[in-house]
């Protein structure tokens, strides 16, 4: 996909493309193909229950349509959902160290260089939270949600400003933080960053005239939805396609917990929050395809895959279904793959970063040493 143009609505930059998918195809087509399945059958076993085999799936983004984002946020508030709290605890404990590392001089290339610069205002930093660049359909609702979140952030933190920083005086420039949203998919955001769009939309950089760098924050452990080899391939798109310039940074949060009971509780099949989230996702699929047969009678099923070190989630059909005019039938008992969460080891993570051309500068961990924030730098010239 090639980035074409952006539209600014106050403090949200709209970069949505026609598809917002990896292939550039409409989401409806990708959803239908994934529900039809194919000859390649995968399986997962936890060693205690019968193996689950599947060939059908739905794109993960479908789960977040409509109320999906709000329903997922309800999951993160569940006491058993440790991922958010563990990651946030790292920020609370090491906020000063992280800020110092991010604001080190652009030309300081040594790994582990955490010496605080003499004057931090000499370096401008653009933080791009990839968690905010979400999904494509029901675009008005998603756009409004993003604006609402930024409004709430600015109300809670008066030192933040909506949109651009006031450059009318050095004092205002020094003390202000600009909060701005980017509405689009991951793939829209990659094209936008590679084209230099974010820099063009940031007049503070032109006013300052000094060095700057981007830092892409990929938090919430969503990075580990991919197996390590796939994650390395995906990250190479950032380092080789101009998304990250030499010296730009990434701050990546990764859950490394492999305590099975703790992981299974976080994604519990008995959790009403998870059940509502999954049912909503299947309703989204029905609405996108205009297929009433997909509505209702789905069971949320999950397995821990010890061999791969991942948690895998499905929707199991409790009755037979026939998609009208699409020559597709889903038998009773069929499992439709929804999502997976790999729990990387530290060695997994570092090998992914190295394969992608990212240099590890530092790592901060939680109290139990099973969740990490990795600070990475693109060192490809």
d(CA 132, CA 17): 16
The answer to whether residue 176 scores a pLDDT higher than 90 is no
Q: Are 205 and 199 in contact (CB under 8 A)?
A: yes
The better pLDDT of the pair 159, 300 is held by 300
Express each pLDDT in 151-163 by its tens digit. Answer: 877 788 776 665 5
What CA–CA distance (Å, rounded) separates 95 from 326?
Answer: 53
Residue 379 pLDDT greater than 70, yes or no: yes
What pLDDT was estimated at residue 243? 85
Answer for the pair 380, 248: CB distance below 8 angstroms, yes or no.
Answer: no
Structure confidence at residue 380 as a pLDDT band (50, 70, 90): low
Residue 14: half-sphere exposure toward Cβ, Cα within 13 Å: 14
Instruction: Check whether 285 has a pLDDT greater than 80.
Output: yes
C-alpha span between 137 and 19 (Å, rounded):
9
β-strand pairing of 321-323 with 328-330? antiparallel
* Angle, alpha carbons 208-131-305 (nearest 5°): 145
Three-state secondary-structure class, residue 10 = coil
Q: What are the tens digits of pLDDT across the range 106-134?
A: 544 433 332 223 333 334 455 555 443 33
Q: In order of start, what are the domains of the chain with their CATH numbers?
A: 8-105+123-162+176-378 (3.40.50.150)
Measured between alpha carbons, how far apart are the two ends of the chain, in Å? 23
- For residue 208, is pLDDT > 60? no
C-beta separation of 64 from 135 below 8 A: yes
The encoded tokens of residue 79 equal 């006491």
> Hey, CA dihedral for 269, 373, 96, 13, is it positive or negative?
negative
Question: In this structure, are residues 160 and 153 in contact, taking their beta carbons and an 8 Å threshold?
Answer: yes
* CB distance 178 to 205 below 8 Å: no
Phi-psi region of 31 (alpha: psi -120 to 50; beta: other; left: phi over 0): alpha
Band of residue 319 on the pLDDT scale cut at 50, 70, 90: very high
Between CA 266 and CA 313 the distance in angstroms is 12
């Amino acid at each position: 996909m090639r980035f074409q143009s952006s539209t600014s609505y106050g403090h949200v930059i709209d970069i949505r493309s026609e598809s917002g998918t990896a292939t550039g195809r409409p989401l409806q087509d990708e959803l239908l193909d994934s529900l039809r399945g194919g000859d390649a059958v995968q399986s997962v076993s936890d060693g205690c229950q019968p193996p689950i085999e599947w060939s059908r799936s739905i794109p993960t983004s479908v789960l977040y349509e409509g109320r999906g984002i709000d329903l997922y946020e309800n999951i993160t508030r569940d006491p058993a959902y440790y991922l958010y709290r563990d990651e946030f605890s790292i920020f609370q404990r090491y906020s000063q160290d992280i800020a110092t590392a991010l604001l080190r001089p652009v030309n300081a290339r040594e790994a582990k260089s955490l010496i605080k610069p003499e004057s931090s205002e000499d370096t401008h930093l653009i933080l791009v939270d990839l968690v905010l660049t979400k999904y494509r359909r029901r675009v008005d609702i998603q756009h409004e949600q993003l604006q609402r979140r930024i409004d709430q952030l600015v109300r809670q933190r008066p030192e933040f400003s909506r949109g651009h920083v006031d450059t009318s005086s050095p004092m205002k420039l020094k003390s202000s933080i600009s909060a701005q949203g980017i509405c689009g998919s991951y793939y829209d955001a990659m094209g936008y960053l590679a084209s230099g769009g974010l820099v063009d939309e940031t007049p503070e950089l032109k006013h300052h005239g000094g060095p700057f760098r981007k830092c892409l924050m990929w938090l919430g452990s969503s990075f580990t939805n991919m197996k390590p080899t796939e994650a390395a391939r995906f990250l190479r798109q950032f380092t080789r396609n101009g998304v990250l310039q030499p010296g730009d940074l990434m701050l990546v949060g990764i859950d490394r917990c492999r305590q099975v009971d703790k992981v299974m509780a976080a994604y519990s099949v008995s959790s009403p929050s998870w059940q509502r989230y999954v049912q909503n996702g299947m309703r989204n699929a029905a609405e996108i395809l205009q297929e009433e047969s997909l509505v209702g009678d789905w069971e949320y099923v999950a397995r821990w895959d010890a061999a791969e070190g991942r948690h895998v989630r499905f929707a199991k059909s409790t009755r037979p279904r026939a998609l009208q005019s699409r020559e597709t039938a889903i038998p009773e008992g069929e499992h439709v793959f929804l999502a997976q969460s790999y729990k990387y080891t530290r060695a997994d993570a570092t090998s992914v970063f190295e394969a992608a051309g990212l240099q590890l500068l530092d790592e901060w961990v939680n109290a139990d040493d099973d969740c990490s924030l990795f600070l990475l730098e693109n060192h490809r010239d």
